[in-house]
Every structure is written in structure tokens, then in C-alpha cells.
């Protein structure tokens, strides 16, 4: 599969091709229009078709071309912000409901795989959460007790099965899972089409209207009239401010190293270091691929992303000496909600018949699956006891310090308006690179392709006018404020921005 939201290639893209669908070429209507054909949109579409709705899915790329193709696909109910933290912020009952929904997410995936005979290497296995005892004394016990109160199946293991990750006790979570993301999503797309759903790709939605005549309008001015609209674009493009001030976009990095077969015990592993790491295997016929991720930083706020890969490679070599060579290097984006729980339900800025699912953190796979259950219930008027904890309108007073810290960080990004540029003019920009340049009082984002052709845009993000930054790893323009991203040639990739960068002379 050709990478879509950046130039790096994940292991899933390197080992599987997704089927092609056609663009929408006329006005149409349905019960539910789903915008975004990643795991969130496709799982929601599947559930709604099963409950008898007519469903149209649209995506401006191919299916699964967004963050879903860049995942590492740990399927887990182990919340990465920790259950004790969720309990502190939201209370014991909410932590229990969060655990219940996460577990239901894993079970739904297994059910979909079984019912539709999807060959996607779905495997149940244990996950191990490793805390360095000297750095975080008492945290293991605190998390163990919080997990038990939340109803999570957890044990204290004497050490992780891969001993070089720590020769001290860790938490073991039985019955987690993993799969090949693109094989799963391809199976899900087939199931949607078989159930009568329609999928259109290369179809960019430019305008979303709620109220009593919900509709989505494409860039080519075709209109999809629907009873309800689900905005499953990872970062909701229907919402301008409300949600984007309650979550922050982070880049995260992954390497895939070839290792001899069966030299690392087959499990999921996570540590609690700062920055933290997430590890799994992909079993192949002749060798295994060790997949190690981490080194997260806020989007658009790191000048040297290549160093992140070097850090990961060094960290991996120290703990996995059997790693032979690096076969994959890729990066992606996750959205971190300030209070640890995702946002699923009515769009606060568009509450009549427009729904969102965002704030997936590094747990977007289970998030997508319980979001699909919840949205199916909401659209069909059924009660769901998870609705309140995921309500996008919620304000979590105990998360105020995080809200203020992230708000301050966003405000500081506007200083880039007066930051001097790296290059004096476009002649200095090396081919295949982009840079923000000063033109009088204006700032332009200038990309020079490998043949020397220049593409010039206003450097002000169409969302709320932060200055975009050049991402050297992915050859994209990334916005440091709320995570909008654009191709080198200006086309919008990730919301909240809906429009492309504005070309300038």
C-alpha cells in the first residue's frame, strides 16, 4: 500500500495492499453517513448496518490510509494513562466503566474476525507492563489495585518473559490481543459491502451540516443527505475549538527489526519510562519482526525527528541483542485527551445528528470498537451506560492543571510568528525539503521538490492561524497547535483543518 499521511512505510503497508473503491460522483442519501474509513469509521459502519441502517462511508484517501495504517496494533484494555489516574480524575465507577468498554472493544474485534472469517493473524496473548522499581516506587502496586477495582484481569508476575526488559516484578494482563491491521480492515470493508454498505474513496468532505437536514458536502460539491453523520476523521473536522482545546496531537515513532524466529517470547510489552516504549512481534515464516515504538513528542515541536529513530534503535539494541537489521521505520500521530478518556458522542459544536469519536490516545483500536458500540446505541436511541464517561461536552475539573499546561503550550506556538527563519531565501533550501521563510511581514511555507520546483503557501494554518512546521521524516507540514497536517504540496491530511494550505505567489 502506498503511504498516504507521510512518506514512511509501516510494516502493514509493506506486507499488504488494500482494495480500491471509487469516488462519489453524484448526490446521494442514506440513514448514516460515516466520514473517515479508518478503524473507527469502518467499525461504526459495520455495527450500524447490522442494526438495519443504510450506511455510506467516505474517505478522502483510500480505506485505512490514515493513522490506522501506522498503528502497532496492540489490542488491549490496559489504559495507557493508568487506571489509578483515571480513578483519581473520574472516580472508581467511571474507571470500572472504562475497563468494561475497553474489554468489550477487544471482544467485538474477535467476534467480527470470527463471524466474517477474516484472516488477519488475530491472536490472544498476554501483555506485560513494566515499571522500573527504583524510579517509580509503589506505582506497580497502586496500578495493580486500581486494575482489580476496575475489574481488569491482572496478575503480578515475577519478571517479564523477555528478561532484558527488567529482572523485577511487573504486571501481567492475560487475554490481550494483536492482529495485522490492514488485513483486518480489508475484511471489515468486505463485510460492509456484503451487508449493503457503500464505500467511496478519494472523496474529501468540505462541509458538514447538522440540525434538521444533516448533510455532508464534498469538495466536488456532491451532497450526501443523511439522518445522522459520524465524523470519524481521527481529529474531528466538524468541530472548530471545543474538542481541540481538550486534546493534544503527538507524533510517535516506530522501528521494525528483523530477529531470528522465536528468540523473543510472544507477548505485548509496555514500559513506564519517560519517554515510554511499546513492543510487540510480527511473526513471519522465516523470521520475526520486533516492533518497538515510542519517543513521542508534540506534533510540530521537534526539529530533529530522525534522532527519535536513532534513540529507538539504541534502546532496542541494548535490550534485544538478537535484532539483526532495521526493516521498517515509520511515524504517526495520536491524540491525547487531557483527562485520559476519549470523546465519543454528539459533537459539542454541532449537537443535532452529528457524532464524533476522538481522543484515541495510543489505544485507538479498542477505542474505535467501543465507540462503534456506543454510537450504534446512540443513533438507534438505545441507552448505553458508557455514554456519560465519554461525553465530548464533559469538563473534568481535576484535569485543569493539564488543560492549563497544554493551553499554555499552544499559546507559546504563536511566538513562531516572530521566530527568524532557518534559511534566508528559497535558493538555500535543499531539494526535497521544505522551510518557513519570511517575505516582508508574511511567512510562507516553501517546499522545493527534488527537481528544484518550488511550491509556496501561506505558512498560517487554515484552522486557527498557527505557523506550520516542516516535518523532515514524513515530508509534511505539521501544525504545532492542534495537529493539522498537510502534504508537502499543501493538501490537507489531518484535521482539524478542513482546507488546504493557501498557495501564494
Ligand X SMILES: Cc1cc2nc3c(=O)[nH]c(=O)nc-3n(C[C@H](O)[C@H](O)[C@H](O)COP(=O)(O)OP(=O)(O)OC[C@H]3O[C@@H](n4cnc5c(N)ncnc54)[C@H](O)[C@@H]3O)c2cc1C
Which residues sit at the interface with ligand X, rule CB under 6 A?
35-41, 58-61, 65-68, 70-74, 204-205, 232-234, 237, 252, 254, 293, 332-334, 360, 362-366, 368, 495, 498
Q: Please, which residue, 87 or 474, has the CB nearer to ligand X?
A: 474
466 binds ligand FES per the rule CB under 6 A: yes
Q: Whole-number minimum distance, CB 451 to ligand X, in Å?
A: 27
Q: Whole-number minimum distance, CB 172 to ligand X, in Å?
A: 18
Distance CA 164, CA 322 (A): 11
Q: Whole-number minimum distance, CB 231 to ligand FES, in Å?
A: 16
Q: Please, which residue, 78 or 95, has the CB nearer to ligand X?
A: 78
459 binds ligand FES per the rule CB under 6 A: no
Q: Whole-number minimum distance, CB 476 to ligand FES, in Å?
A: 13
482 binds ligand FES per the rule CB under 6 A: yes
Among the residue ranges 28-36, 200-208, 290-298, 462-470, the one whose residues contact ligand FES (CB under 6 A)? 462-470
Chosen from ligand FES, ligand X, none, partner binding at 463 (C-beta under 5 to 8 Å by type): ligand FES
Residues 6+ positions from 438 with CB-CB distance below 8 Å: 420, 421
* String marking each residue 413-452 x if it binds ligand FES according to CB under 6 A: ----------------------------------------
Q: Whole-number minimum distance, CB 444 to ligand FES, in Å?
A: 16
Distance CA 491, CA 66 (A): 14
Chosen from ligand X, ligand FES, none, partner binding at 496 (C-beta under 5 to 8 Å by type): ligand FES
Q: Select from 146, 224, 373, 481 the one that contacts ligand FES (CB under 6 A).
A: 481
Chosen from ligand X, ligand FES, none, partner binding at 59 (C-beta under 5 to 8 Å by type): ligand X
CB-based burial, 336-372: b 16+ in 10 Å, e otherwise: bbbbbbbbbbbbbbbeebbbbbbbbbbbbbbbbbbbb
DSSP 31: E
Distance CA 379, CA 386 (A): 14
242 binds ligand FES per the rule CB under 6 A: no
Q: What is the length of the chain?
A: 505
Distance CA 493, CA 471 (A): 13
Q: Whole-number minimum distance, CB 332 to ligand X, in Å?
A: 2
* String marking each residue 52-91 x if it binds ligand FES according to CB under 6 A: ----------------------------------------
Residue with cell 504540496: 489
Distance CA 336, CA 246 (A): 9
Q: Whole-number minimum distance, CB 237 to ligand FES, in Å?
A: 11
Q: DSSP strand E in 122-275: where?
A: 123-130, 155-157, 170-178, 198-200, 205-209, 215-218, 223-231, 247-260, 268-271
Distance CA 432, CA 424 (A): 17
308 binds ligand FES per the rule CB under 6 A: no
Under DSSP, is residue 148 helix (H, G, I), strand (E, B) or coil?
Answer: helix
Q: Please, which residue, 251 or 319, has the CB nearer to ligand FES?
A: 251
251 binds ligand FES per the rule CB under 6 A: no
Nine-digit cell at 157? 508476575
129 binds ligand FES per the rule CB under 6 A: no
Chosen from ligand FES, ligand X, none, partner binding at 364 (C-beta under 5 to 8 Å by type): ligand X
Chosen from ligand FES, ligand X, none, partner binding at 464 (C-beta under 5 to 8 Å by type): ligand FES
Q: Whole-number minimum distance, CB 238 to ligand FES, in Å?
A: 14
DSSP 212: T
- Give 365's Cβ-side CA count (13 Å radius): 28
Under DSSP, is residue 254 helix (H, G, I), strand (E, B) or coil?
Answer: strand
Residue pair 128/268 in contact (Cβ under 8 Å)? The answer is yes
Q: Select from 147, 247, 484, 487 the one that contacts ligand FES (CB under 6 A).
A: 484
Nine-digit cell at 280? 510487540
353 binds ligand FES per the rule CB under 6 A: no
Residues 6+ positions from 273 with CB-CB distance below 8 Å: 132, 135
Helices (H), 301-355: 305-319
Chosen from ligand X, ligand FES, none, partner binding at 234 (C-beta under 5 to 8 Å by type): ligand X
Best CA proximity match to 300, nearest among 60, 138, 482? 482
Q: Please, which residue, 95 or 365, has the CB nearer to ligand X?
A: 365
Chosen from ligand X, ligand FES, none, partner binding at 484 (C-beta under 5 to 8 Å by type): ligand FES
Q: Whole-number minimum distance, CB 480 to ligand FES, in Å?
A: 8
335 binds ligand FES per the rule CB under 6 A: no
Nine-digit cell at 258? 528483523
Residue pair 255/329 in contact (Cβ under 8 Å)? The answer is yes
Residues 6+ positions from 45 with CB-CB distance below 8 Å: 32, 34, 55, 57, 192, 197
Number of residues that bind ligand FES (CB under 6 A): 12
Chosen from ligand X, ligand FES, none, partner binding at 96 (C-beta under 5 to 8 Å by type): none
Nine-digit cell at 481? 497547535
Chosen from ligand X, ligand FES, none, partner binding at 293 (C-beta under 5 to 8 Å by type): ligand X
Helices (H), 26-180: 39-50, 83-90, 92-115, 139-150
Residues that bind ligand FES (CB under 6 A): 461, 463-466, 479, 481-484, 496-497
Amino acid at each position: 500500500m502506498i503511504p498516504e499521511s507521510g512518506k514512511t512505510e509501516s510494516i502493514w503497508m509493506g506486507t499488504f495492499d488494500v482494495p480500491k473503491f471509487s469516488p462519489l460522483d453524484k448526490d446521494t442519501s442514506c440513514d448514516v453517513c460515516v466520514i473517515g474509513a479508518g478503524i473507527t469509521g469502518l467499525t461504526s459502519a459495520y455495527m450500524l448496518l447490522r442494526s438495519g441502517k443504510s450506511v455510506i462511508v467516505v474517505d478522502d484517501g483510500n480505506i485505512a490510509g490514515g493513522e490506522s495504517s501506522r498503528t502497532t496494533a496492540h489490542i488491549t484494555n490496559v489504559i495507557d494513562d493508568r487506571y489509578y489516574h483515571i480513578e483519581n480524575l473520574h472516580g472508581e465507577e467511571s474507571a470500572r466503566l472504562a475497563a468494561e468498554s475497553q474489554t468489550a472493544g477487544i471482544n467485538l474485534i474477535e467476534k467480527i474476525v470470527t463471524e466474517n472469517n477474516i484472516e488477519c493473524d488475530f491472536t490472544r496473548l498476554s501483555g506485560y507492563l513494566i515499571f522500573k522499581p527504583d524510579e517509580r516506587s509503589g506505582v506497580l502496586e497502586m496500578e495493580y489495585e486500581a486494575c482489580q477495582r476496575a475489574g481488569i484481569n491482572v496478575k503480578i508476575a515475577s519478571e517479564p518473559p523477555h528478561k532484558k526488559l527488567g529482572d523485577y516484578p511487573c504486571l501481567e494482563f492475560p487475554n490481550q490481543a494483536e492482529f495485522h491491521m490492514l488485513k483486518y480492515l480489508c475484511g471489515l470493508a468486505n463485510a460492509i459491502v456484503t451487508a449493503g454498505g457503500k464505500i467511496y474513496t478519494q472523496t474529501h468532505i468540505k462541509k458538514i451540516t447538522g440540525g434538521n437536514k444533516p448533510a455532508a458536502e464534498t469538495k466536488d460539491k456532491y451532497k450526501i443527505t443523511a439522518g445522522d453523520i459520524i465524523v470519524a476523521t481521527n481529529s474531528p473536522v466538524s468541530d472548530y475549538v471545543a474538542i481541540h482545546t481538550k486534546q493534544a496531537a503527538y507524533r510517535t515513532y516506530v522501528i521494525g527489526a528483523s530477529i531470528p524466529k522465536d528468540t523473543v517470547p510472544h507477548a505485548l510489552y509496555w514500559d513506564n519510562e519517560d519517554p515510554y516504549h511499546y513492543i510487540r512481534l510480527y511473526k513471519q515464516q522465516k523470521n520475526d519482526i520486533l516492533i518497538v515504538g515510542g519517543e513521542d513528542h508534540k506534533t510540530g515541536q521537534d526539529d530533529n525527528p530522525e534522532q527519535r529513530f536513532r534513540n529507538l534503535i539504541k534502546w532496542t539494541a541494548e535490550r534485544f541483542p538478537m535484532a539483526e537489521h532495521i526493516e521498517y521505520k515509520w511515524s504517526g500521530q495520536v491524540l491525547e485527551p487531557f483527562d485520559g478518556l476519549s470523546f465519543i458522542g454528539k459533537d459539542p459544536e454541532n449537537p443535532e445528528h452529528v457524532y464524533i469519536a476522538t481522543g484515541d490516545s495510543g489505544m485507538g483500536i479498542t477505542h474505535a470498537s467501543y465507540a462503534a458500540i456506543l454510537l450504534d446505541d446512540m443513533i438507534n436511541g438505545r441507552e448505553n451506560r458508557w455514554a456519560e464517561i465519554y461525553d465530548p461536552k464533559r469538563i473534568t475539573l481535576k484535569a485543569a492543571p493539564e488543560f492549563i499546561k497544554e493551553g499554555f503550550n499552544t499559546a507559546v506556538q504563536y511566538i513562531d510568528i516572530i521566530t527568524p527563519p532557518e534559511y534566508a531565501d528559497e535558493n538555500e533550501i535543499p531539494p526535497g525539503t521544505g522551510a518557513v521563510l519570511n517575505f516582508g511581514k508574511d511567512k510562507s511555507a516553501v517546499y522545493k521538490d527534488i527537481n528544484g520546483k518550488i511550491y509556496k503557501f501561506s505558512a498560517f494554518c487554515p484552522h486557527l492561524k498557527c505557523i506550520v512546521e516542516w516535518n523532515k521524516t514524513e515530508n509534511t507540514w505539521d501544525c504545532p497547535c492542534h495537529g493539522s497536517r498537510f502534504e508537502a504540496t499543501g493538501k490537507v491530511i489531518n484535521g482539524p483543518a478542513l482546507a488546504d494550505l493557501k498557495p501564494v505567489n
